[in-house]
Structure 1
Amino acid sequence: MQDNRILQLAYAIAETTRDKVGAIESIMRETEILALNARIEAARAGAAGAAFGVVAGEMGRVSGSISGIAREFRAEVEAQTQRIEEAGSAMLTELRGQRFTDLALNAVEIIDRNLFERSCDVRWWATDSAVVEAAEAPSVDRLAHASARLATILRSYTVYLDLWITDREGRVIANGRPDRYPGVVGHGVADQAWFQRALATANGDDYSVADIARESALNEAPVATYATAIRRGGRHDGEVLGTLGIFFDWAPQAEAVVQGVGLSDEEQARSRVMLLDAQHRIIADSRGRASLGECYPLETDGRERGYGLAEGRLVAFARTPGYETYAGLGWYGVIEYADAAERGTRMVQAGRQGALC
């Protein structure tokens, strides 16, 4: 950063001034010693050395005055240098804090734009004729056709792990990847919040979304689940026949977001980029795969975005603003930046700093 180089130059000037004042003080100490020796020799010479003794005394007085000025100058330089360091550090903190806040906002906006598309997908695919017909009259042929149709969608939309059709009772009757997930058909989801909310949607414009969770029927993969009701005839106000649930493959998409934040090499070495849900649970972490169990101790003080300092760390955050018709889930983008002196302990211990959710 340009401001960092300017601050380093100010530090260098202050350090050079200290060195030169130190050299002056050293010379003055030598001069005082010489003046003292001259006065001793003048005293030994008696009356013949009286005049020389006066000159030696004046040399000592002048040397002492210069040393005093040098000491005052050193003290003033040190005081001004401290002010420069404090002002410079505050300036760098503010600039970095504002920049990291913008980057945190950008990260959560990217994921929100992505998830907005998922909310569009589920509402569109729930009107597909193969999906509607399978929910209306789930014969063997119709379910096979619906499964093949979902498989076609999955080949084009690689961000999904699977797509499920359920009946009104919450039993999965077809999925798009029966070869990869053979245990899905017959799986019960009646107790899942996403299913219950999808079943209760008022019309075809509504959908449900669940926070990131591991899905047992998908080999415990972390997923973002979107769902909506399948309605008779695919009509906007048709009778609810079942639901369509779509499972966004969270891990690779989230990793791409947190790893793709625009940090310098130095900043990357000292930073931890995260996405948090509304309960401050870590759902993406640039250090590696999130456990989905650790809560980050984020202090927002009621702000939507901003930054703060704590224990040698700068923590910048931004709450999701949503995207178009997608209001978001109250997620946060967060960047934790550790000072060089703190990095060895803070970054190693970061996994222990949060309580389990």
Structure 2
Amino acid sequence: MTPTIIASHHSSNAAESAEDASPERIADLADSLVGKMSRASTEISRINDRTRLLSLNAQIEAARAGGPTGAAFGVVASAMQDLSDKTSQVAGAMATETTEANKALRQIIQVLTTNVRGLRLSDLALTNIDLIDRNLYERSCDVRWWATDSSPVAALAEGTPEAARRCSQRLGVILKSYTVYYDLVVCDLNGRVIANGRPDLYQSVGADCSQDAWFRTALATRSGEEFGFQSVHASPLVKGERVLIYSCCVRANGDVGAAPIGVLGIIFHWDALAQTIVENTPMSAAEKSGTRVCIVDDAGLILADTQGRQLLDRLELPNSSKLAGENKGFTQMTLNGSDCCVGYAVSPGYETYATGWRSLIIQKLDAKTS
């Protein structure tokens, strides 16, 4: 049965079609409200200026009229002047209080926006690395199982070309069912490849793997219940493709407790898993344009990357000590002159397996998130 690489996420269509209640939308509404209040205050001031002018003209006319009529008219003019002064005070206070309230609101929204964005990015980062761990757990199971298969056991025990040919055929049958692998190889105790599952594609028989990490770590295991491993690298066994290799000692008679007689290596198609996951992180096209999604090892080497820098760069983040002590979270930092929010998550492991790697999502703060 072919194992399925899990690399899907829930659709964002529902979220995109829902009413927009994002912090950014709230900020826009707050700005709109302040703008309306400002225009209203300006209109009040304009009307108040006309009232002042009318009051002044009334006072002049009252003085000209003189007598009781002028005095009465002067009282009305004076009342209009007092009303204008009070209106001006109220309008000024309203403008000041609105500005101060909006400033405080903007600060709250900025914190809210950062928290909402950061939590979402860290959740997505955790989902990505968890998917990788869950898929790679199966690889550690596969190699321990296939190392007990009778074909590699016979090929190593007999040491004949015919036994190697049968082993190659058997490995080819396995590869037809498990399409996540480039190839499967069997080495003798000297590290020489004696059989592989796809000899038509990869002419690896005779290759010396004695110094490769996957071979050496397998030989260091104490039983067939343990496995060896080599992290992401470009493998000459499969024409330089980026791979992970899991390995396990093939032991006498297929007995997990017996002495080693060789090593089985399974060559996993890394990009088909990791690049699929990082490139399909659920974001809109506009958001993705301002976002970098990657997987790094414990030394910062980029293993998967939406910017295509796999195995070419190490990702050195300023103030990375903030990220060191937590398994999941987010922080803000300046990268290449841009203010960014970085969501991160460390490999949580699955069952008995954990890569120990870190998932990072780096998003410019001016990136659209809807």
Q: TM class by shorter-chain length?
A: 0.7 to 0.9
Alpha-carbon RMSD: 2.4
| Deviates further, 217-226 or 261-270 | 261-270
Please tell me whether residue 305 in structure 1 is matched to residue 328 in structure 2: yes
| Deviates further, 227-236 or 287-296 | 287-296
Residues 194 and 208 in structure 1, CA contact (< 8 A), matched pair in contact too:
yes
**Helix, strand or coil: the match of 1:86?**
helix
Please tell me whether residue 169 in structure 1 is matched to residue 190 in structure 2: yes
- Given the alignment, which residue of 310, 319, 343 partners 1:316? 343
TM-score by length of 1: 0.87
Residues 290 and 367 in structure 2, CA contact (< 8 A), matched pair in contact too:
no
The alpha-carbon distance between structure 1 residues 137 and 341, as it changes in their structure 2 partners (threshold 3 A), is closer
Cα distance in 1 between the residues matched to 2:57 and 2:152:
107
Q: How far is the alpha carbon of 1:7 from its aligned partner? A: 4.7
Please tell me whether residue 146 in structure 1 is matched to residue 167 in structure 2: yes
Cα distance in 2 between the residues matched to 1:339 and 1:26:
40
Aligned positions, number: 340
Residues 233 and 311 in structure 2, CA contact (< 8 A), matched pair in contact too:
no
**Which AA in structure 1 matches 2:174?**
I
**Which AA in structure 1 matches 2:133?**
D
CA deviation string 1:43-63 (max 9, x = no partner): 6x3746666455444433422
**Which AA in structure 1 matches 2:329?**
G
| Deviates further, 240-249 or 262-271 | 262-271
Query: Higher relative contact order by CA 8 Å / sep ≥ 6: 1 or 2?
Result: 2
Q: How far is the alpha carbon of 1:35 from its aligned partner? A: 3.3
| Percent of pairs with identical residues | 37
**Partner of residue 95, structure 2:** 74
**Partner of residue 273, structure 1:** 293
**Partner of residue 155, structure 2:** 134
Residues 287 and 367 in structure 2, CA contact (< 8 A), matched pair in contact too:
no
**Helix, strand or coil: the match of 2:323?**
coil
**Helix, strand or coil: the match of 1:275?**
strand
- Given the alignment, which residue of 324, 332, 342 partners 2:358? 332
Q: How far is the alpha carbon of 1:42 from its aligned partner? A: 5.6
Unaligned runs of 5+ in 2: 1-19
Residues 185 and 266 in structure 2, CA contact (< 8 A), matched pair in contact too:
yes
Please tell me whether residue 59 in structure 1 is matched to residue 80 in structure 2: yes
Residues 291 and 367 in structure 2, CA contact (< 8 A), matched pair in contact too:
no
Q: How far is the alpha carbon of 1:291 from its aligned partner? A: 4.2
- Given the alignment, which residue of 262, 270, 285 partners 1:250? 270
- Given the alignment, which residue of 235, 244, 267 partners 1:224? 244
Please tell me whether residue 203 in structure 1 is matched to residue 223 in structure 2: yes
CA deviation string 1:201-233 (max 9, x = no partner): 100110012221111332221111111111111
Q: How far is the alpha carbon of 1:271 from its aligned partner? A: 2.2
TM-score by length of 2: 0.84
**Partner of residue 127, structure 2:** 106
**Helix, strand or coil: the match of 1:144?**
helix
Q: How far is the alpha carbon of 1:39 from its aligned partner? A: 4.5
Q: How far is the alpha carbon of 1:84 from its aligned partner? A: 1.5
Q: How far is the alpha carbon of 1:236 from its aligned partner? A: 0.9
